[in-house]
Amino acid sequence: MRIYVGVVHKNAPSLDSSGLLDGHLSEQLASAARRSLPFATPGAPAAQWTTGNVLLAAWSNEPGDPRRPLLDSTPEAAHGFSGYLLGEGEDPAGVWARFAATPGRLSGSTSASGAEVVFFAETPELVVIGNHALLVHLVADPTGPHADLVGLSGVFNAGFCTTDRTAFRAVTALGPDRTVAADRSGLSISRRETRSTGEASAEDVAAALMASIAPLADRKEPVLLGLTGGRDSRLLAALLTRGGVPLKSRTSGNPDDPDVLVGRQVAEALGIPHVVGGPMGLTRDHEGDTLSIDVAGRLHEAVVLGNGMFCAHDRVGRIDGGYNASLVPFSGSGGEILRGYYAGAVAGMDQREVVQRYLRGRVLGSRDRMTQAMQRAYEADLEPWRRQVKEQGAGALEDYYVRQRTGRWTGMARQAASIGSLAWRPYLDHHVVETVRRVPLQLRTDERLIADLLEVLAPELHDIRFAGKRWKFDKNPPTAPQARAAWDARAPLLGSHGDQSTFSWRADLPEVRTELAEAIAQAPDSFWEIADRHRMDDFAIRASPSRANTVRMWHWATVATALATDFATGPDRLESRERIVVVTRTELQPQRPSRKERIKAVGTSAAKRVLVIARRLQRTVTRR
């Protein structure tokens, strides 16, 4: 993990001569680092450059590597980057965020995917730019953290920040393919000119994808691919095999999951090693038929590693984890680009009303559980996106996905995972994203592009079925008997939950919902400025224990934990919050709690709230 923060002092001509660097500002940096970084640090930067009123500092848990210096500096300039760069110059391939400092000027830039993040803040004295939102916030305002409840409303509804706001007051996320620059006059944001224009073909995309993995062909150790039954990881397996990259694959799940069955067939056809592991995030004792789960620890990790800005439903790293430079994990993350992102998921892409309704469903999933005041504030924040979708239709949905879902959810998840290794993501590569977005949207949304790419790279996979869904262009059966027989043979493999796993501990176990409900019950008053108490209690009593509803509870519990712990800025932030719950099951299937059990759970939740309030009143009386 590589963490950067840069500062421009707008009022002091020189940080050195003013004494700021040796005194106040230096301690401000060190204190902010100790309170925010997800790995142990004494506070002082591992690398630092300063000239005049500009400072650029960096921290890392990675071992030193002369090929990847934290800061590449001369007396006249300093440069650093997170992620990885392929090539040199102003517009390299790779997945990166870049930071540059020169006398009087500081800048941060994002690649076309925005999957390596940049944040910025401005005060009367300072402009702060970096790639860690909480660090940027605490450098700009040492009295923090101060939560932006409207920004957190995105996590409450969707599991990630749905606009450029963050979890922290006055800290803003930079969009993809942009540069934020600062000098003594303040901030400016510009968008980079694209390298090329005009329509791109499948051959252009294939060339960009092959270039994105070319540096890995000389590796001695195999890269690790998470292989599922879907399109995206299959294409990556084909790409890596065609590119001569040593490869091994892994599928997580139960033996009868569609992902496991199809993933094994793909690996066999390509001749790559393949192993099957159990569902991630739990320990299973087969002899005792028990599961060990840890919801509380997972929530804490989401706050420390992701600043509470992506949902704990998805674990992507371990706090203070060791960095393994030899591990290069791959997955199909980002493959939605080949299908037009959200635009590809809309039935009726050319109907504006359908497109608008789809966006509302994505960003307002828990609107009915919010207070009226926060509903109004959150919807006002979303209005520019709603207006753009209304005016531009499906194309705006694609823009939204790149800027918000990729830039904000994937970006935060990728940063969190970088504590353990540097993930290689061809679909998020700067040149790949630029090229794919020049392919006509219709060719992507009907899945012709990804089908053509698979046919070019691995025709031997043609007859292997997918898990869950057919190609969009192949959804209607032909009438000719021979063609119909071939169509039937291509039928996707389905499990009891379609293309999803037959069992998901995160979404199916009542014990998980109980743990999540407890985290929500312990939320501070600020959480209830977002969530309406009565509506939340009604949800607990009446809502079905569906997977969708349980995922919503993960969203809410993530926000509740972030606020309850002050974003884990205390001295114990790196300590484990592990709380193992052992679950005994003879049948690992969803179990709907009875109405009596749900009412009891609400009563327990209410009792805990009463206890919390009583303790607060007691502390207030004691202080008086």
Helix (H) or strand (E) holding 85: strand 77-86
Looking at the whole model, is its pTM more than 0.75?
yes
Q: Is the pLDDT of residue 522 over 90?
A: yes
H helix or E strand, kind and range, residue 27: helix 24-36
CA 210/CA 52 separation, integer angstroms:
44
Task: Give the pLDDT mean for 106-117.
Answer: 96
pLDDT band of residue 287 (cuts 50, 70, 90) is: low
Report the distance separating Cα 92 and Cα 94, nearest Å. 7
Residue 17 is predicted with a pLDDT of 56
Q: Extract the tokens encoding 235.
A: 């294409």
**CA 569 → CA 38, 271, 469, 502, distances in Å?**
10, 48, 44, 38
pLDDT of residue 507: 85
pLDDT, residue 614, reads 46
Q: What one-character-per-residue DSSP string does 113-155 give?
A: T--S--EEEE-SSEEEEES-HHHHHHHH-TT---B-HHHHHHH
pLDDT score for 497: 56
Q: Which amino acid is at 288?
A: G
Give the pLDDT of residue 21: 62
SS3 79: strand
Q: What is the mean pLDDT of the chain?
A: 88
Q: What is the 3-state secondary structure (H, E, C) of 389-419?
A: HHHHCHHHHHHHHHHHHHHHHHHHHHHHHCC
Which residue do the tokens 């949902």 mark? 311
- Tell me the two tokens of residue 195: 């390298």
- How does residue 583 score in pLDDT terms, banded at 50, 70 and 90? confident
Quick check: 37 and 61 in contact, CB under 8 A?
A: no
What pLDDT, in 10s, does the model give residues 194-233? 777 789 999 999 999 999 999 999 988 899 999 999 999 9
Percent of the residues in the chain that have a pLDDT greater than 70, as a whole number: 88
Q: Residue 285's pLDDT is what?
A: 61
Percent above pLDDT 90 for the chain: 63
Residue 622 confidence class, pLDDT cut points 50, 70, 90: very low
Give the distance from CA 484 to its chain's centroid. Answer: 41
- Among 217, 313, 235, smallest CA distance to 507 is for 313
**Pairing verdict, β 105-110 and 93-102:** antiparallel
Determine the pLDDT at residue 495: 73
pLDDT in tens, 408-443: 999 999 999 999 999 899 999 999 999 999 999 888
Across 386-395, 417-426, 557-566, which has the greatest mean pLDDT? 557-566
For 107, counting Cβ atoms within 10 Å of its Cβ (0-12 exposed, 13-18 middle, 19+ buried), the class is buried
Q: Answer yes or no: is pLDDT of 252 > 60.
A: yes
Which H helix or E strand runs over 551? helix 547-564
Q: Is pLDDT of 611 > 60?
A: no
What are 258-274's pLDDT values in tens digits?
999 999 999 999 999 99
pLDDT digits (tens, 9 = 90+) for 12-66: 887 765 555 656 778 889 999 999 999 999 999 999 999 999 999 999 999 988 8
Comparing 237-251, 482-496, 577-591, the range with the smallest average pLDDT is 577-591
Would you give the DSSP letter of residue 495?
B
Distance CA(500)–CA(258), nearest Å, equals: 7
* Residue 543, CA distances (Å) to 34, 156, 490, 551, 557 in order: 41, 17, 37, 13, 16
Is residue 141 scored above 70 in pLDDT?
A: yes
Question: What's the pLDDT score for residue 257?
Answer: 86
Instruction: Say which residues have a Cβ less than 8 Å from residue 388's Cβ, sequence separation at least 6.
Output: 396, 399, 400
pLDDT for the residue 597: 46
Task: Locate 473 and state its tokens.
Answer: 């262009």
Give, rounded to a whole angstrom, the gap between the first and last alpha carbons of the chain.
46
Of 445 and 107, which is predicted with more confidence?
107
| pLDDT attached to residue 23 | 62
Q: Up-side HSE of residue 11: CA atoms within 13 Å toward CB?
A: 6
- What is the rounded radius of gyration, in angstroms, for the C-alpha atoms of the chain? 25
pLDDT at position 613: 46
- The pLDDT of residue 289 is 65
In 3-state terms, what secondary structure has residue 29?
Answer: helix
Tell me: cis bond preceding 145? Omega within 30 of 0 counts: yes
Q: How confident is the model at residue 82 (pLDDT cuts 50, 70, 90)?
A: very high
- pLDDT of 330-389, one tens digit each? 877 888 889 887 776 776 666 788 888 889 999 999 999 999 999 999 999 999 999 999
